[in-house]
């Protein structure tokens, strides 16, 4: 039996520049951190050697790959040439559609589990690259590359996307005191709504391709990602929160699907209560509200957002890993 895990992530800046329609024209960059909330995949030999037994939000029992309804499972098993007689189950700390990169975390954890099941090792870059191939090239999902690399590597990273398709992952190094302060000053609140990532991202891609000003906005978001990396390394966390707010103002201007009146009200209430800055996690449209707020103001922010569910978390430093093998 193999138990594999990969973390979810919170993106701070540069989202949208990891999509091919952007980085093929101009290199992209994002700043993100992995958090200690996980997608888990369990792989085990199945007693019925003639079937695939798959368990997620539903249960599938299939004799051939073509019979498998779950696209990621089907194509990952095909990619690894997995024969019947295997059982795959998945669970997660947080549901999909919440802006924390759950789909890619699942892909990375699944691929790692399939390697481990055959007693093979895959590097973190290999896991990320293969997850990108699975989701983007094979399944044609209109998504970018940041989530796969964040899930595979873990930690706080500055990730660059080059025009030739290659990716550079650079850990952002802070003192232990500043890292602890950053971690404690980031709050996550679930807005109560989940969204269709494909729809939001497809609209954003169309906007970038049709409107040069939208492309320039993403370009400014990339520049801000570099600025925020440098701010973090300087230790000026208040300026980091202010930059987070500027980035959200840019992102929300890309399409009407990124935010709505309810989300705007939550965000404005949080800012009025003391949060310096924030944004919606991921593509937008719902999911988690990410806020930067000094500790002495956090209770007021919690009171202002009392109708929302707060998720406590810590940073993840391991990335994708095999938690159990027997």
Place of tokens 């707010």: 245
Do residues 49 and 85 touch, judged by C-beta distance below 8 A? yes
CA 282 to chain centre: 7
Q: What integer pLDDT is reported at residue 196 of this predicted model?
A: 64
Q: Give the predicted TM-score (pTM) of the model.
A: 0.94
Token reading at 216: 């320039």
pLDDT the model gives residue 204 = 73
The CA R_g of the chain, rounded to the nearest whole Å, is: 20
- The pLDDT score that the predictor gives to residue 207 is 74
Which pLDDT value is given to residue 300? 98
Q: Over the chain (326 residues), what is each successive 10-residue block's mean pLDDT?
A: 98 95 95 98 92 96 97 98 97 92 97 98 98 97 95 99 97 97 98 72 74 91 98 96 97 86 95 97 84 98 97 97 95
Judge contact between 284 and 252, C-beta under 8 A.
yes
- The Cα 263–Cα 254 span in angstroms is 16
Contact between 67 and 44 under an 8 Å Cβ cutoff? The reply is no
Q: What SS3 string covers the chain?
A: CEEEEEEEEEEEECCCCCCHHHHCCCCEEEEEEEEEEEEEEEEEECCCCCCEEEECCCEEEECCHHHCCCHHHHHHHHHCCCCCCEEEEEEECCCCCCCCCHHHHHHHHHHHHHHHHCCCCCCHHHHHHHHHHHHHHHCCCCCCCHHHHHHHHCCEEEEEECCCCCEEEEECCCCHHHHHHHHHHEEEEECCCCCCHHHHHHHHHHHHHHCHHHHHHHHHHHHHHHHHHHHHHHCCHHHHHHHHHHHHHHHCCCCCCCCCHHHHHHHHHHHHHCCCEEEECCCCCCCEEEEECCHHHHHHHHHHCCCCEECCCCECCCCCEEEEEC
Domain borders along the chain are 2-173, 176-310
| CATH code reported for the domain at 2-173 | 3.30.230.10
CATH superfamily of 176-310: GHMP kinase, C-terminal domain (3.30.70.890)
Q: What is the pLDDT of residues 179-217, one digit of tens each?
A: 999 999 999 999 987 756 666 777 777 777 778 898 999
Q: pLDDT tens digit string along 117-167?
A: 999 999 999 999 999 999 999 999 989 999 999 999 999 999 999 999 999
User: In the prediction, which pLDDT does 31 show?
Assistant: 98
CB 42 within 8 A of CB 76: no
Provide the pLDDT for residue 171: 98
User: Distances from the Cα of 81 to the Cαs of 4, 78, 108, in angstroms?
Assistant: 19, 5, 17
């Amino acid at each position: 039996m193999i138990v594999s895990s990969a973390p979810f992530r919170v993106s701070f800046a540069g989202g949208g520049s990891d999509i091919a329609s952007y980085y093929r024209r101009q290199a992209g960059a994002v700043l993100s951190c992995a958090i200690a909330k996980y997608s888990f995949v369990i792989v085990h030999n199945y007693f019925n050697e003639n079937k695939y037994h798959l368990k997620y939000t539903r249960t599938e029992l299939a004799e051939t790959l073509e019979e498998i309804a779950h696209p990621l499972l089907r194509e990952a098993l095909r990619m690894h040439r997995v024969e019947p007689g295997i059982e795959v189950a998945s669970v997660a700390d947080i549901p999909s559609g919440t802006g924390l990169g759950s789909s890619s975390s699942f892909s990375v954890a699944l691929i790692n589990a399939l390697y481990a099941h055959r007693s093979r090792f895959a590097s973190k870059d290999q896991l990320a690259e293969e997850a990108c191939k699975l989701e983007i090239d094979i399944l044609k999902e209109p998504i970018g590359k940041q989530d796969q690399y964040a899930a595979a590597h873990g930690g706080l990273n500055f990730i660059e996307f080059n025009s030739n398709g290659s990716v550079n992952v650079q850990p952002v190094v802070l003192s232990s005191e500043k890292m602890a302060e950053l971690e404690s000053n980031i709050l996550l609140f679930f807005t109560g709504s989940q969204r269709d990532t494909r729809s939001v991202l497809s609209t954003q891609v169309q906007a970038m391709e049709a409107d040069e000003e939208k492309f320039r906005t993403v370009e400014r978001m990339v520049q801000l990602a570099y600025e925020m990396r440098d701010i973090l390394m300087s230790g000026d966390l208040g300026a980091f929160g202010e930059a987070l707010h500027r980035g959200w103002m840019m992102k929300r201007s890309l399409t009407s699907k990124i935010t709505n009146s309810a989300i705007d009200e939550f965000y404005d209430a949080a800012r009025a209560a003391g949060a310096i800055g924030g944004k919606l996690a991921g593509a937008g449209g719902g999911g988690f509200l990410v806020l930067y707020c000094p500790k002495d103001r956090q209770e007021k922010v919690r009171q202002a957002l009392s109708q929302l569910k707060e998720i406590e978390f810590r940073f993840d430093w391991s990335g994708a890993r095999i938690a159990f093998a027997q």
